[in-house]
Chains A and B, each alone.
Chain A
Amino acid sequence: AQKVTQAQTEISVVEKEDVTLDCVYETRDTTYYLFWYKQPPSGELVFLIRRNSFDEQNEISGRYSWNFQKSTSSFNFTITASQVVDSAVYFCALSESLTNDYKLSFGAGTTVTVRA
């Protein structure tokens, strides 16, 4: 069963629009970690954020913000005032304690296209 669901396959916006990427996860663990990664057209995977299950504070980093809600098992990501350089595939990932193996379970990714 898929542990991380990113329901949006593709999102296309015009520059300066805000865009929100949804991420819903599934785990029986009480201690777990959530991550977002960015994969630009050049192909590398860039770490954006890590959040543990005990910290439900929202986070803002520049134009990026994250909304973690345990009640709905969601960890959504918003890009404010999008720019062309934000065009990439964004992956949400989950790491669980129960498995004791450090692996990341990735969602299928959301392709964001920002048009000038």
Chain B
Amino acid sequence: DTAVSQTPKYLVTQMGNDKSIKCEQNLGHDTMYWYKQDSKKFLKIMFSYNNKELIINETVPNRFSPKSPDKAHLNLHINSLELGDSAVYFCASSQEFQPIGAGVKAEQYFGPGTRLTVT
């Protein structure tokens, strides 16, 4: 059983289109994330959700909108795609200790990634 799954694995689309990437985790975790990995392999946090509540929005353009319908899902919708959006997008999840700021951080488990190519 895949712990963190993403669909699709590959996404090729044209500039200006709108697309979505779905993420599901079956680990029972309460926190989910989206990361972007650029062509130089640099990984950067985009969003995190804890119990469906947005915790991090790391200066990501408004064209990116995450949606968490429940604790097990965190989808990423991208409007008006641009060339610079081409990257690999990783979903991740973790089981964090409460309350927030308690100072204990759990390891994050990553999905297989979605390679987005904008032409």
Contacts and interface: CB of A to CB of B under 8 A. Distances in A.
Interface of A: 31-33, 35, 37, 39, 43-47, 50, 52, 89, 91, 95, 97, 100-106, 108-109, 111
B1 interface: no
Residue among A52, A95, A103, A109 with the highest chain B CB neighbour number at 10 A = A103
A54 to B, nearest CB: 10
A102 B50 contact: yes
Which label, helix, strand, loop or mixed, suits the secondary structure of the A interface? Answer: strand
Which A-B residue pairs are the 7 nearest by beta carbons? A45-B110, A97-B103, A100-B101, A95-B105, A31-B103, A106-B43, A33-B105
B56 interface: yes
Given A43-B88, A44-B112, A102-B31, A109 B103 contact: no
Interface of B: 31, 33, 40-45, 48, 50, 55-56, 58, 88, 90, 92, 94, 96, 100-101, 103-113, 115
A103 B41 contact: no
A115 B42 CA distance: 24
Residue among A45, A102, A105, A109 with the highest chain B CB neighbour number at 10 A = A102
Given A46-B110, A101-B56, A102-B100, 5 more contacts: A43-B88, A50-B105, A95-B105, A101-B100, A104-B108
18 contacts: A35-B107, A37-B110, A43-B88, A44-B112, A45-B110, A46-B110, A47-B110, A52-B105, A101-B55, A101-B56, A102-B48, A102-B96, A102-B100, A103-B56, A108-B41, A109-B41, A109-B42, A109-B43
Given A31-B103, A103-B56, A103-B58, A108 B42 contact: yes
Contacts of A95: 105
A32 B103 CA distance: 7
A95 B100 CA distance: 13
Contacts of A104: 43, 45, 108
A47 B108 contact: yes
